[in-house]
Amino acid sequence: MGSEEKTRIAAVQMVSGPDIGENLREAGRLVAEAAARGARLVALPEYFPLISGNETDKVRAREKDGAGPLQDFLREEAMKHKVWLVGGSIPLEASVPDKVRNTCLVFDDSGRRVARYDKIHLFGFQRGTERYNESQTIEAGRGVVAIDSPFGRLGLSICYDLRFPELYRSMGEVDLLVVPAAFTQTTGQSHWELLLRARAVENLCYVLASAQGGTHPSGRMTWGDSMIIDPWGAVLDRLPKGPGVVVADIDPARIAELRANLPALLHRTIF
């Protein structure tokens, strides 16, 4: 890791609605709370600026890469609170006019953009009247993103990516996996914690999961349960439902100790 000291990190949980301005105010309030509690890295949830009953609303809200009020908000919040800010996801322009890239941007504590990750795996689910098909309005990304930071190496992913362990393994050795999400109530209650803890254990790293969690104005229900997990699979803090902040310390000595005790990453065989 970049530092041998413990670092406090935070996951922000929200219940976003269709009013972008209102969502940004709520996100700003929660980032401020996380910073006040000592967090140096803060992650917002997937779709933090907008969740509505009309999936095409995010297409109308999409921004050009590098310019727009959503990107300005993230940059300014990182600077104001002097935190590294993982911007959940926002809609950026795609190669076609009727879709977006579901994009996670990272800004450092000086407001400099240091990473962009476009969600690779697009969620599809159908059971009875419950149906999701992200590929109708989202264009899939292609590149795996992991970056160095003062807190160690960070691997970026979004929501449905969590079901694909090969994505995380392709990042190499990382110290912290960040998973902004809007897991559904149906899939979340069965698989959310199970998958997060598995990713932590198999990569012997911390996992920071920032979720949407509650009943949205559109009637959509998201699972929530934002949490921070240590490299041995222990849940350090969590928030089942509603807006709020989850905090915990990541300890590079803990990672080093566990990797020395169980050098599974060195025992891997590539088939």
Q: What residues are labeled active site?
A: 46, 119, 159
- Listed residue (151, 150, 213) closest to 180, CA to CA: 213
Distance of CA 226 to CAs 55, 113, 128, 235, Å? 24, 25, 27, 10
Give the chain's end-to-end CA distance (angstroms, integer).
28
The count of other CB atoms within 10 Å of the CB of residue 208 is 26
* Rounded CA separation 226/205 (Å): 17
Q: Which alpha helices (H) appear in the chain, and where do they start and end? A: 20-36, 57-60, 69-81, 165-169, 185-187, 193-203, 252-261
Look at the block and give the residue holding tokens 């105010």.
25
Rg (CA), the chain: 17
CA angle 76, 159, 23 (to 5 degrees): 40
- Listed residue (152, 247, 224, 235) closest to 199, CA to CA: 235
Look at the block and give the residue holding tokens 């005790």.
261
Would you say the C-alpha torsion 10, 15, 17, 21 has a positive or negative sign? negative
What is the largest distance, in Å, between two alpha-carbon atoms of the chain? 51
